[in-house]
Amino acid sequence: MPYVTVKMLEGRTEEQKRALVAEVTEAVSRTVNAPQENITVFIEEMSKNHYGVAGIRMSDK
Amino acid sequence: MPYVTVKMLEGRTEEQKRALVAEVTEAVSRTVNAPQENITVFIEEMSKNHYGVAGIRMSDK
Amino acid sequence: MPYVTVKMLEGRTEEQKRALVAEVTEAVSRTVNAPQENITVFIEEMSKNHYGVAGIRMSDK
Amino acid sequence: MPYVTVKMLEGRTEEQKRALVAEVTEAVSRTVNAPQENITVFIEEMSKNHYGVAGIRMSDK
Amino acid sequence: MPYVTVKMLEGRTEEQKRALVAEVTEAVSRTVNAPQENITVFIEEMSKNHYGVAGIRMSDK
Amino acid sequence: MPYVTVKMLEGRTEEQKRALVAEVTEAVSRTVNAPQENITVFIEEMSKNHYGVAGIRMSDK
């Protein structure tokens, strides 16, 4: 605890994802005062045809 | 806001998904009085071996 | 199937939520060709102190 | 109702997933007194580079 | 890992929820061969006005 | 995009939640190179009787 899910478009590099998990964990640990070993991060990627704002999918723009 | 997630079996066409995002956005906008540009839709697809009702997966029927 | 989750700020009336569930169900049924009786809708409400864009919670604006 | 989501690392066999859906459905049915036909189970798999504990992804260990 | 979420209508007793967490954990552990101490269960309750099937909320039936 | 959900036990102060949203947004922005105004954070709180590890709810310990 806490459990963090980051949902974003696919395409980030492994290096970006590695840094994302590390730095989000630090930010959560620092602000809610939880030990880093108790923090879990999940990354969920979506493709552009499965994500739309204002009724239009990213893949249709 | 609002954020809408539609979880369904894989296999719909791109045309169906495009219409889904457009028409769900309109339905949400109309009923809760939110501007369309504030509405986000996510599609999540599942495969038949990852979805079961009554203890039996779709892929095992 | 499909399963639809609508996440939005609290404060809508029961009449708005009733219409939301009905009209989203119709939109999903029509666009992905699923019978209405197979469609499930979940509403999830969030409070303004649990939702932030650009690093600022709604409750802090 | 109820709806159960099991999120786990990819790599389980079909036989394990089949048993998972069956036995989780039984456990939920028995403990909350819901008929098995009303219970839905979703499996969500994650890859090791999308899952981290203590700031380190499984794929980086 | 795994992480299990059980979403259901509110109204179960504490005794039912306690048994639910225990028995679902056992079922997951047994079927996917994961140690019980690695398994997390979340319960999410919904109210009848936030849950609808076939376009009609439970609270409107 | 991205959308971040932080799920944790209830009980944090408003000051902690405000800092959580701000600092997680910065960490995500920095690591995946997304403008802060595109980042959304949701906080989801759970109670101790709805969260269990190793088959035992926090409220039963």
Task: Output the CA–CA distances (angstroms, integers) from residue B42 to A52, A53, B24, in the order listed.
Answer: 7, 9, 11
Shortest CA gap A4–chain B (Å) = 18
> From CA F3, how far away is CA F25, in angstroms rounded?
10
The answer to whether the CB of D8 falls within 8 A of the CB of E3 is yes
pLDDT on residue B53: 98
- For residues C51 and C41, is the Cβ–Cβ distance under 8 A? no
Give tens-digit pLDDT for E2-52: 999 999 999 999 999 999 999 999 999 999 999 999 999 999 999 999 999
Tokens representing B51 are 């979805």
- Contact between F24 and A12 under an 8 Å Cβ cutoff? The reply is no
**How many CB atoms are closer than 10 A to CB A8?**
23
What residues of B are labeled active site?
2
Phi-psi region of B2 (alpha: psi -120 to 50; beta: other; left: phi over 0): beta
User: For the residues of C23-59, what is the DSSP string, one character each?
Assistant: HHHHHHHHHHT--GGG-EEEEEEE-GGGEEETTEEGG
User: Are the C-beta atoms of residues B39 and C47 closer than 8 Å to each other?
Assistant: no
CA distance B27 to A36: 42
Q: Which residues of F20-44 are buried (b: 16+ CB within 10 A; e: fewer)?
A: bbbbbbbbbbebbebeeeebbbbbb
E45 and C42 Cβ atoms separated by less than 8 Å: no
What pLDDT does residue E61 have? 93
pLDDT tens profile A5-53: 999 999 999 999 999 999 999 999 999 999 999 999 999 999 999 999 9
What pLDDT is stored for residue C17 in this prediction? 98
Contact between chains at A20 and F12 (C-beta distance less than 8 A): no
User: Does the interface ipTM go beyond 0.85?
Assistant: yes
Q: Report cis status (omega within 30 of 0) of the bond before F35.
A: no
Cβ-defined contact of F50 to E42 (cutoff 8 Å) = yes
Minimal Cα–Cα distance from E2 to chain F, Å?
A: 10
Pairing of strands E51-53, E56-57: antiparallel
Mean pLDDT of F2-20: 98
Q: Which chain A residues are closer than 8 Å to B26 by Cβ? A: 55
Between β-strands F3-9 and F51-53, what pairing exists: parallel, antiparallel or unpaired? unpaired
Cis peptide before C35 (omega within 30 of 0): no
Query: In the prediction, which pLDDT does C37 show?
Result: 98
DSSP state, residue A12: -
* Residues A60 and B16 sit within 8 Å (Cβ to Cβ): no
Phi-psi bin for D34: left (phi > 0), alpha (psi -120 to 50), beta? Answer: beta
Of E14, E41, E45, the CB nearest to F52: E41
Nearest CB among F7, F49, F54 relative to E17 is that of F49
Check residue D36 and report its DSSP letter. Answer: G
Distances (CA, A) of D28 to B11, C50, D1, D40, E13: 30, 30, 10, 10, 14
Whether CATH 3.30.429.10 fits B3-60: yes
For residue F21, what is the nearest residue in chain C, using CA coordinates? Answer: C55
* pLDDT at site B45: 98
* Residues of chain D scoring pLDDT < 70: none
Q: Do D21 and B46 touch (CB under 8 A)?
A: no
Alpha-carbon distance of A47 to A11, in angstroms, equals 9
Q: How far is CA B61 from the centre of its chain?
A: 23
Q: Do chains A and C touch (3 or more CB pairs under 8 A)?
A: no
- Domain borders along chain D are 3-60
Cβ-contact F28, A12 below 8 angstroms: no
Q: What is the pLDDT of residues B4-51, one digit of tens each?
A: 999 999 999 999 999 999 999 999 999 999 999 999 999 999 999 999
Chains in contact with chain A (at least 3 beta-carbon pairs closer than 8 A): B, D, F
Give backbone dihedrals phi and psi of C32, rounded to 5 degrees, phi first: -110, 5
